[in-house]
Copies of this chain bind each other. A is one copy, B any other.
Amino acid sequence: MRKADVVIIGGSAAGATAAISCSRRNPGKEIILIRKEKEELVPCGIPYIFGTLGSPQKNLMPDTALLNHGVNLFISTAEEINREKQFVYTDSGEQISYDKLILATGSSPMVLQIPGIDKENVFVVNKEVGYLQNMLDAVDRSKDIVIIGGGFVGAEFADECKKNRDNNVTIVETRPHCLQLAFDDEFCLEAETSLTKRGVKIIANEKVEAILGDNKVGKVRLSSGRELKADVVIVSIGVLPNVELAEKAGLRISASTKGIVVDRYQRVRGDSNIFACGDCAMKISYFSGKPIKAWLASIATGEARVAAANLFEICYHGLGTVGVFSTQIGNLAIGAAGLTQRQAEEEGYDIVVGEAKAPSRHPGGMPGAVPTSVKLMFSKNDGVMVGGEASGGTCVGEIINVISACLHHSMTAYEVSLFQMGTHPALCASPIAYQMVNAAEEAVAKLS
């Protein structure tokens, strides 16, 4: 039997981060990371295999950081956890004992339960090199691609599948807009315009009812009765936490979000030696404290760091999930942090909104300047910021993190309106027009 101080199951964003973080915080502890795949994919990079990167091999997570931190890699599948004796059985017959165990088993794509879903050339977004290579080959050979679900993954796949190919790509989305769970309508519309410019067709308010064809997919039938030609179908309707191993070990699973129940220390209910983080773990909202569904690598890494910090001594309670997202559709970068206006109003907030738009560089004639918007939501009662959205140039990727930092400290519209930022002509908006500050100032005027 192999012995380790810390065993981590799962090697994607959460598992790898937990391993590195644990090694930094606990030098000298023996850490074993068990993962299924010899080569681990960068999870958020998967859509980019289909256009920008061109192959799964170009989207691998290097093991360098793990190895540099002295983490021992075990390529096998964890089959069972013996909580009493504190060891993990693997499918290769290994028994690995742990002092502390971190579950980072991730999530798997949800499968649509409709007729024809088993046909050839119908894909979900599995995180496996071989599977994705087959999918890429099918996309390369295809003429008509139908993507079921217009969330982040669907929108990014649509964008990428159009790159360097003469094909038809259609997104079928059940909601009125793509990306509607993450953004307010005006931002969804911007993303849709960007997709449409790329040549992607969007069919909203529609369900796919059946996948038609002999062995291979030939068409999909929508609930309206309309049929679309399709030689490849990509199903991207969300994910479900991988909790079989945890369930088998008697750990509690959240009824509402299907994640392993954890406390604010990322410790599982009823076993102080086991932690869970990432897609497999239950999350609660930073705002309401209610369970939420938010499966993102960036969230996973945050939880992994909390888990690693608390392993041997509780020293940090997580804040709950702020929820910070970004993507790029065509040339449009778009991001959100915290609650959207719709979500905030659904929660019961009386909301004051501030908005500002300015070129991403200044003066507006600087090369690469792109109109960039920020929208901020504040509670009318105490002026505290509860969310922000941004769209425009690539700077949005970090603008949304500036907003996240303000959310971390419940900054008010007043405070944000006097925020001290740096700006430079080649990198940022003008300091006079800096969007976050001007949006906050607009909100201040409405609050007083």
Contact = CB atoms under 8 A, between A and B. Distances in A.
Interface of A: 13, 16-17, 20-21, 24-25, 27, 42, 44-45, 48, 52-53, 58-61, 65, 286, 296-302, 305-306, 309, 315-316, 318-319, 321-322, 324-328, 333, 335-337, 362-363, 365-368, 394-402, 404-406, 408-409, 411, 414-415, 417-428, 430-434, 437, 441-442, 444-445, 448
A444 B337 CA distance: 26
B422 A404 contact: yes
B418 A309 contact: yes
B53 A366 contact: yes
Contacts of A415: 408
Nearest to A54: B365
Which 7 A-B pairs rank lowest in CB-CB distance, beginning with the nearest? A397-B427, A398-B398, A324-B422, A405-B405, A298-B431, A301-B431, A328-B426
Contacts of A321: 420
Nearest to A305: B418
A397 B397 contact: no
A394 B426 contact: yes
Contact of A423 (B297, B399, B417, B442): B297
Given A397-B395, A426-B328, A444-B25, A302 B367 contact: no
A324 B406 CA distance: 16
Nearest to A398: B398
Contacts of A401: 398-399, 402, 421-422, 428
A81 B159 CA distance: 61
A398 B409 contact: no
Contacts of A420: 286, 298-299, 302, 319, 321-322, 324, 404, 408
A52 B366 contact: yes
B42 A363 contact: yes
Q: Label chain A's interface by main secondary structure.
A: mixed
A21 B366 CA distance: 25
B441 A24 contact: yes
Contact of A431 (B297, B366, B437): B297
Contacts of A315: 414
Given A401-B402, A405-B402, A406-B405, A42 B395 contact: no
Nearest to A422: B324
Nearest to A26: B445
A121 B411 CA distance: 50
B298 A65 contact: no
Q: Which of A42, A316, A324 gathers most chain B CB within 10 Å?
A: A42
Contacts of A431: 13, 17, 44, 297-298, 300-302
Nearest to A306: B418
B418 A365 contact: no
Nearest to A367: B52
Given A298-B431, A305-B418, 8 more contacts: A24-B442, A25-B441, A302-B421, A302-B431, A327-B424, A368-B394, A398-B428, A400-B422
Contact of A16 (B326, B402, B432, B437): B432
A42 B428 contact: no
Contacts of A426: 48, 52, 327-328, 333, 394, 397
Nearest to A17: B432
B363 A422 contact: no
Q: Which of A316, A333, A366 gathers most chain B CB within 10 Å?
A: A366
Contact of A42 (B17, B322, B362, B444): B362
A28 to B, nearest CB: 12
A347 B432 CA distance: 31
A153 to B, nearest CB: 12
Given A300-B431, A301-B431, A328 B20 contact: no
